[in-house]
């Protein structure tokens, strides 16, 4: 997404330069969100997930199945497995890769879900209604469990933490999500780290064994930046390219955008690494403008969504542990929201089945609006009416 949108934005902004788009997958560029949804459940194995972009008409050269191996900043070259590619300006948009369980790479029956090929490999699992164990109760784990149950698979989700989404949302919010798994007929085991995988079984740290015809690992992703080691492009402790608020890297003429790059947010007062579709959609316009000599600041309101267990979950903004949490509605119902206030300013919202809350909150966060806490906590009051 980030690479394609950068190329498209460059042309829309009038660039007549040669544009080369390098990607290590053999497929034409495609959209990832459907991979954990429509593609798994019988959608086409490529067709409608591919971007509706005429690269020939845009005069964008696609080099598919070509992997970047190193960057030579002094020579302005990207070294690939197909040879060196020179550049005047470079945009790094190499995304992220899924984290595997140690020692499981290449084991039969063990799957990750990040690419079109990953989704294609999981289709037969769902078609055969196999017994599946999902490792990780994060966003991707919940989405895959949803699809697998819809396909008729028996599903067990194993999570090392004590609750779903423990790393991203507070207990007062996620505690109610456990019931979603129960309603869907998914067995959720929390506080149970995986010790190892055996043929046909997942072995837990407490000695328990769960039979499994297939195992899907969804324990996070890391920026795909290893190829930049020693290139003079600063990488953070999280592995992300350290970009500035113009999406410039520490190397001259090199920009970075999407899942592989962090950026400083003046709005939230910290550096953000956003592994979501909207960041890969919005960032490229700023990157393209600055590639062409502009001076645009990138400071978005992060946004993502997830479809799981019959619910549409949306999040906008960015919250910290010290922010004040307000619940709008009853989390045991199908429609409620959670708001985070930083002082009186709305910092973030999580909306479950309340898309209007999300839309209004996103605008309020975008203009750094203050809200009345009592009104913001009242689900009968539109969030826009809570603004001061």
**Site of tokens 């910092």:** 347
Torsion of CA 259, 260, 263, 265, to 10 degrees: 20
In order of 132, 159, 163, 177, 329, the CA distances from 184 in angstroms are 14, 17, 17, 11, 22
Contact in structure between 133 and 125 (CB atoms under 8 Å): no
- Give me the helix-helix angle, 116-127 and 139-150, nearest 10°: 40
167 phi and psi, to 5 degrees? -80, -10
Separation of alpha carbons 229 and 76, rounded Å? 15
Instruction: Quickly state the pLDDT bin for 43 (edges 50, 70, 90).
Output: low
DSSP H or E run through 129: none
Q: Which one, of 195, 196, 178, lies nearest residue 187 by Cα?
A: 178
Where are the chain's structural domains? 2-24+65-97+221-291, 100-217, 313-386
250: tokens are 């520490």
Q: Which one, of 74, 95, 97, lies nearest residue 254 by Cα?
A: 74
Q: What is the mean pLDDT of residues 329-352?
A: 97
Contact in structure between 212 and 134 (CB atoms under 8 Å): no
Task: Kindly tell me if the per-residue pLDDT of 47 is higher than 70.
Answer: no
Residue 46 has what pLDDT?
A: 45
- pTM summary value: 0.94
Instruction: Put the strands of the sheet holding 241-242 in their side by side order.
Output: 241-242, 261-265, 270-272
- For the domain 313-386, what is the CATH superfamily, name and number? FAD/NAD-linked reductase, C-terminal dimerisation domain (3.30.390.30)
Instruction: Quickly state the pLDDT bin for 35 (edges 50, 70, 90).
Output: confident
Residue 351 has what pLDDT?
A: 98
**What CATH class does 100-217 carry?**
alpha beta
When computed from its CA atoms, the radius of gyration of the chain, rounded to whole angstroms, is: 22
65 phi and psi, to 5 degrees? 70, 25
Separation of alpha carbons 307 and 72, rounded Å? 42
Instruction: Quickly state the pLDDT bin for 214 (edges 50, 70, 90).
Output: very high
Percent of the chain with pLDDT over 70: 99
CA quadruple 21, 24, 28, 31: dihedral sign: negative
| Cβ neighbours, 10 Å, residue 237 | 6
Tens of pLDDT, residue by residue over 135-193, are: 999 999 999 999 999 999 999 999 999 999 998 999 999 989 999 999 999 999 999 99
Residue 106 has what pLDDT?
A: 83
281: tokens are 């959609």
Percent of the chain with pLDDT over 90: 91
Q: How do the residues of the chain divide into helix, strand and coil, expressed in percent and rounded to 5?
A: 25, 30, 45
Contact in structure between 28 and 50 (CB atoms under 8 Å): yes
Contact in structure between 239 and 74 (CB atoms under 8 Å): no
Q: Do the domains spanning 2-24+65-97+221-291 and 100-217 agree at the CATH topology level?
A: yes
CATH number for the 2-24+65-97+221-291 domain, one of 3.40.640.10, 3.50.50.60, 3.40.50.460, 3.40.50.300?
Answer: 3.50.50.60
More confident site: 50 or 124: 124
């Amino acid at each position: 997404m980030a690479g394609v949108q950068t190329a498209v934005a460059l042309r829309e902004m009038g660039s007549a330069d040669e544009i080369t788009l390098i990607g290590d997958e053999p497929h034409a560029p495609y959209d990832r969100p459907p991979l954990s949804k429509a593609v798994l459940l019988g959608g086409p194995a490529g067709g409608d997930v591919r971007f509706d972009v005429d690269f020939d008409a845009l005069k964008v050269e696609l080099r598919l199945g070509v992997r970047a191996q190193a960057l030579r900043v002094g020579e302005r070259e990207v070294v690939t497995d197909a040879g060196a590619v020179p550049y005047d300006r470079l945009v790094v948009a190499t995304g992220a890769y899924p984290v595997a369980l140690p020692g499981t790479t290449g084991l039969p029956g063990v799957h990750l879900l990040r690419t079109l090929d990953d989704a294609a490999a999981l289709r037969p699992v769902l078609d055969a209604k196999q017994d599946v164990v999902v490792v990780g109760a994060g966003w991707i784990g919940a989405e895959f469990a949803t699809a697998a149950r819809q396909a008729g698979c028996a599903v067990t989700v194993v999570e090392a933490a004590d609750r779903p989404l423990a790393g991203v949302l507070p207990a007062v919010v996620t505690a109610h999500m456990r019931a979603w798994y129960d309603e869907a007929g998914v067995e959720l085991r929390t506080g149970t780290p995986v010790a190892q995988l055996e043929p046909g079984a997942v072995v837990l740290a407490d000695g328990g064994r769960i039979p499994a015809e297939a195992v899907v690992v969804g324990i996070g992703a890391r920026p795909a930046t290893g190829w930049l080691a020693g290139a003079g492009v600063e990488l953070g402790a999280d592995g992300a390219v350290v970009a500035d608020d113009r999406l410039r890297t520490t190397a001259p003429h090199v920009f970075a955008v999407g899942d592989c790059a962090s950026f400083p947010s003046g709005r939230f007062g910290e550096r953000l690494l956003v592994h979501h579709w909207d960041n890969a959609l919005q960032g490229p316009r700023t990157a393209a403008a600055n590639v062409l000599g502009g001076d645009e600041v990138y400071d978005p309101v992060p946004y993502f969504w997830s479809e799981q267990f019959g619910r549409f979950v949306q999040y906008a903004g960015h919250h910290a542990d010290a922010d004040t949490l307000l619940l709008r509605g009853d989390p045991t119902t199908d429609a409620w929201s959670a708001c985070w206030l930083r002082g009186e300013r709305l910092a973030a919202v999580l909306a479950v089945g309340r898309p209007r809350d999300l839309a209004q909150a996103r605008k309020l966060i975008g203009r750094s609006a203050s809200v009345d806490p009592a009104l913001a906590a009242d689900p009968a009051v539109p969030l826009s009416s809570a603004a001061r």
